[in-house]
Structure 1
Amino acid sequence: MSTLHVLSRSPFGDDRLSSCLRVIGANDALLLSGDAVYALQPGTAPFNTLNSRALNLFVLAEDVQARSIETPDWAKAINYPAFVELSIHHDKVNSWL
């Protein structure tokens, strides 16, 4: 069974990203949206943590573009239709509210 974990809050305001990374499984995927894409700012602790993990990491292209953040080569930028497909592909979706 696989889970798509969806984070939308900044990793600098709370510990949702850390909590998510503690439970994420090998078949799971992580989608960063909204302010969660700030985790992709090079040189930050969240960036280094994500870079060091072998994750299926996705980001909403609209959100990284709106915040002028580049998508690293170890993450895949997707649009909303691809987000829907990703949700359908996984058995569960867990939004970290």
Structure 2
Amino acid sequence: MSTLHVLSHSPFADSRLSSCLRLLGHEDAILLCGDATYAVTASTAARQALDAKADSLKLFILEEDAKARNLVLPDWVSRVDYPGFVELSVQYDKVNTWL
């Protein structure tokens, strides 16, 4: 069963991202939105954790939030808009929002 994990909180404020990465199944994906998009900031522990899993990680980022924060995205990250977010929500069996 596949799960889309949605994170919106800054990776610098708590351990949601690292907990999510530990629990991630092989069919799962992560969508970063809001302040969670800061996880792709170069030279940070969050980015290093994502880079370490880049070969097997399905990582999506809400493009509007990344643009609002002027972030440079790695090539291996998939950008989605709001309709893409909805599409992902129905593509996966479950959606888990990390509140």
Q: TM-score, normalised by structure 2?
A: 0.96
The residue aligned with 2:81 is 79
Alignment counterpart, residue 64 of structure 1, candidates 41, 63, 66: 66
The residue aligned with 2:35 is 35
Between the aligned partners of 1:57 and 1:29, the Cα distance in structure 2 is 6
Deviation at 1:70, TM superposition (A): 1.2
The residue aligned with 1:89 is 91
Query: Does 1:14 pair with 2:17?
Result: no
4+ runs deviating over 2 angstroms: none
User: What amino acid maps onto 2:40 in structure 1?
Assistant: L
Deviation at 1:62, TM superposition (A): 0.2
Contact 1:3–1:27 (CA<8 Å) still a contact in 2? yes
Unaligned runs of 5+ in 2: none
Contact 1:3–1:94 (CA<8 Å) still a contact in 2? yes
Identity among equivalent positions (%) equals 58
Q: TM-score, normalised by structure 1?
A: 0.98
Between the aligned partners of 2:73 and 2:90, the Cα distance in structure 1 is 23
CA-atom RMSD, angstroms?
A: 0.5
User: What amino acid maps onto 1:27 in structure 2?
Assistant: E
